[in-house]
Amino acid sequence: MRRTKPLRIALSALLVAGVSAGFAPVPAGAAAPADEKAPASGAMLAAMQRDFGLTKSQAEARLSAEKKATAVEGKARRVAGSSYGGAWFTPESGRLTVAVTDPNKAAAVRSTGAEAELVKYSAKQLDATKERIDALKAPKGVASWHVDPASNRIVIETLAGRQGDNDVRHFLAQAREAGPVIVEKTAHAPRTLAAGTVGGDPYYTGNVRCSIGFSVNGGFVTAGHCSGAGASVNGWDGSYIGNFQGSSFPDNDYAWVNVGSGWWTVPVVLGWGTVPDQLVRGSAEAPIGASICRSGSTSHWHCGNVLAKNETVNYSQGAVHEMTKTNVCAEPGDSGGSFISGDQAQGVTSGGWGDCSGGGETWYQPINEILNRYGLTLTTA
């Protein structure tokens, strides 16, 4: 049913920018302390019960464990120092594991509440290896690559049936010279998730429909592949919202749009009637293994897990770096939409494979990188 514009905006996480009493901005890149008391919403619990097959009490326990892990990760990283090798959350145990290269640091890491695992390579070494691989020209038979702290390697995904291609073999040989890698197969090539214009959806630019990510000071953030700087943006009702003020794609996949002409920002992610709309309270980064949910204008609200961070995704348009991978499904038109963990903003939808009927994977560009890049502040409740 079509709602009037004022009501749609008031309820929507999609429509952004403006001021409202009680909404306070967070400085760019800042994150609300993860140990602050914030009850899980019924919407988040319901979505986790649906998508993970959990009971309400199990969902509550997992969110509590993830919130603790998010707080512990920063402390453990500080005490590990240069020995830090990455971290990941294990849902079955509800524990955060932190990799260290120095056995003398293990006790200090455990004192923070995390598990400690001895590894060969530090996070700094793995990141340097990935940077060397990023500098290579990836062929179409290579889907993506990322730092995997659990295996202490760079995981490179190649398309099934393409491993024997000369250009793929050459890329992998160069990657192995760069540092420690593991090669895995995937049946799916990554693609962006923009869509042609259809009626009744959040925003349009040219003949493309995409989804709004998060409200920031003066506008909203979204995906860079949706349009370039200067492009005009119209809302779900066809009225003018603003223009792309900055946009980067490929290499990155982020953008921000200024908001005016009767539109304003609210610290909300739209639940699309599947769950109630979600308040945004900060941008503390969830660890690998944590639960995460996505809101988009095509497939609406779905949840899954964080699978990997700092992944380079090789789209047909070019490689995009420092992405986070999830097993949350998405479909064309969901590009730019919100990824949120608990009440913490995580990033904007970039692309993926599959759909919400058969499943799939998606990548998002982390929110704090976007805020820092453009000097924006996240609008929070």
Q: Would you name the residues annotated as active-site residues?
A: 225, 253, 335
Other Cβ atoms within 10 Å of 100 Cβ, number: 26
Which amino acid is present at 157? Answer: E
Residues 6+ apart with CB under 8 A from 282: 26, 30, 31, 32, 33, 343, 344, 345, 378, 380
Query: CA 144, 146, 152, 155: dihedral to nearest 10 degrees?
Result: 0
For residue 284, the cross-strand partners are none
Chain centroid to CA 357: 21
Question: What is the DSSP pairing of strand 142-148 with strand 153-159?
Answer: antiparallel
Pairwise CA distance, residues 41 & 155, whole Å? 35
Asked whether the beta carbons of 303 and 293 are under 8 A apart, the reply is yes
Residue type, 21: A
Please give the Cα distance from 29 to 23 (Å, whole number): 17
- The total number of residues shown for the chain amounts to 381
